[in-house]
Amino acid sequence: MGRRRPGTPTLEEVAALAGVGRGTVSRVINDAAGVKESTRRAVQRAIAELGYVPNLAARSLAGRRADAVALVMTEPDWRQFGEPFFSEVVRSVGDALTDTKVQLLLTLVRTDAERQRLVEYARGGRVDGVMLMSVHAEDALPDMLAEVGLPTVLLGRRSGEESVTYVDADNAGGARGAVAHLLGLGRRSIATITGPLDMYVAQCRLRGYREALERAGVESRPAWTAEGDFSAGSGRRAMAGLIERAPEIDGVLAASDTMAAGALDALRAAGRRVPEDVAVIGFDDFPLAQHTDPKLTTVRQPLEEIGRTMVRLLLEEMEEPEVAWRHVILRTELVLRGSA
């Protein structure tokens, strides 16, 4: 409401009450140097007495920053929002900002109208920077933001030639490590359940799977690859299909722990023993793995560090707008938990 809520004191009234000029009050509320201690206290008393709170619109307009950043979820399917993956990222980003005076704003973008609204909001100067989670390959939002000079950081990339600053986990490396582990267990017929292959993250995990087999000189049949969509149901269906057309399979890498859980179901339903007959590893989208089989060996993504890093990169770009875009790729970790 601009509808000037009555009784909202202005900086000018504070100045008058404290018997100083506006500039001095401004310095005090911005912790600027060069104010005599006694004056500072007089001003602070006036502020307290009046219950003064700076008008943020005026402050932004006068040329300072918005002191806010946005964390955007571009996810047409709302179900995803509740996923532990996202709440973990949100939590760690929140933590990373907790000691700053930067307000974190989560926003949700599903439709193009919302996309447009967000761009106008950001370009309108209401946030100093934007972090994007779960960006799909064909999403133009990152470019729309970056092109107008708004500091922008992506979680994950849209392709191998991502042109916007991003933070990603080493998905290919994680997949390689997982497959190497399966090979180390003596498995030779290793299948993979991929994520949706229009997502770069899924491509990377598939690539890592293939590279590990290639490096070890182990065969990889096309029939051993099945595509899922990260959900448990898709994992179950994919695994059922694999069992049918490739009963020889003795190891599986799933691109998400939820799909891995579905795969376990399918395997057990088919009478296979896990991990004796078939060893399964899934990418873990949640550090605590609360929602999945507690015995499932996983490739853990450093979500906590991903959030921290996104914030760091964003704040740096906000300080130094000239700097070129950068990327950070964080190592994953294989967490052995006994089912493989």
Partner DNA sequence: ATGAAAGCGCTAACAT
Partner DNA sequence: ATGTTAGCGCTTTCAT
- CB 145, min distance to a copy of itself, A: 12
Pick the closer one to DNA by CB: 29 or 218: 29
Q: What are phi and psi of 197, to 5 degrees?
A: -75, 0
DSSP 168-183: EE-HHHHHHHHHHHHH
What is the per-residue binding string for DNA in 36-65, x denoting contact by CB under 7 A? x-xxx-----------x-xx--xx-xxxx-
* Residue 35 engages DNA in binding (rule: CB under 7 A): yes
Q: Compute how many residues bind DNA; rule: CB under 7 A.
A: 32
Task: Say if residue 76 is exposed, middle or buried (CB neighbours under 10 Å; 0-12, 13-18, 19+).
Answer: exposed
Which listed option, DNA, a copy of itself, none, makes contact with residue 273 (CB within 5 to 8 Å by class)? none
Cβ–Cβ under 8 Å, residues 136 and 159: no
* Residue 125 engages a copy of itself in binding (rule: CB under 8 A): yes
DSSP β-ladder status, 333-335 and 297-300: antiparallel
Q: Of the candidates 14, 64, 56, which has an alpha carbon nearest to the alpha carbon of residue 39?
A: 14
**Residue owning tokens 């000079």:** 149
325 DSSP assignment: P
* Residue 289 engages a copy of itself in binding (rule: CB under 8 A): no
| Contacts (CB under 8 A) with a copy of itself, residues 209-268 | none
* Residue 336 engages DNA in binding (rule: CB under 7 A): no
Q: Of the candidates 255, 231, 228, which has an alpha carbon nearest to the alpha carbon of residue 242?
A: 228
What is the per-residue binding string for a copy of itself in 89-118, x denoting contact by CB under 8 A? -xx--x---x--x-xxxxxx-xx-xx--xx
- Could you tell me which stretch among 73-81, 161-169, 206-214, 277-285 binds a copy of itself (CB under 8 A)? 73-81
Q: What is the C-alpha to C-alpha distance for residues 107 and 74, in angstroms, rounded to an integer?
A: 9
320 DSSP assignment: -
Give the CA distances from residue 329 to residues 18, 110, 148, 199, in Å, rounded to whole numbers and listed in that order. 53, 27, 25, 17
Residue ranges binding DNA (CB under 7 A) = 2, 4, 8, 10-12, 19-24, 26-27, 29-30, 33-36, 38-40, 52, 54-55, 58-59, 61-64
Residue ranges binding a copy of itself (CB under 8 A) = 1-8, 53-66, 68, 78-79, 81-84, 86-87, 90-91, 94, 98, 101, 103-108, 110-111, 113-114, 117-121, 123-126, 128, 148-151, 318, 321
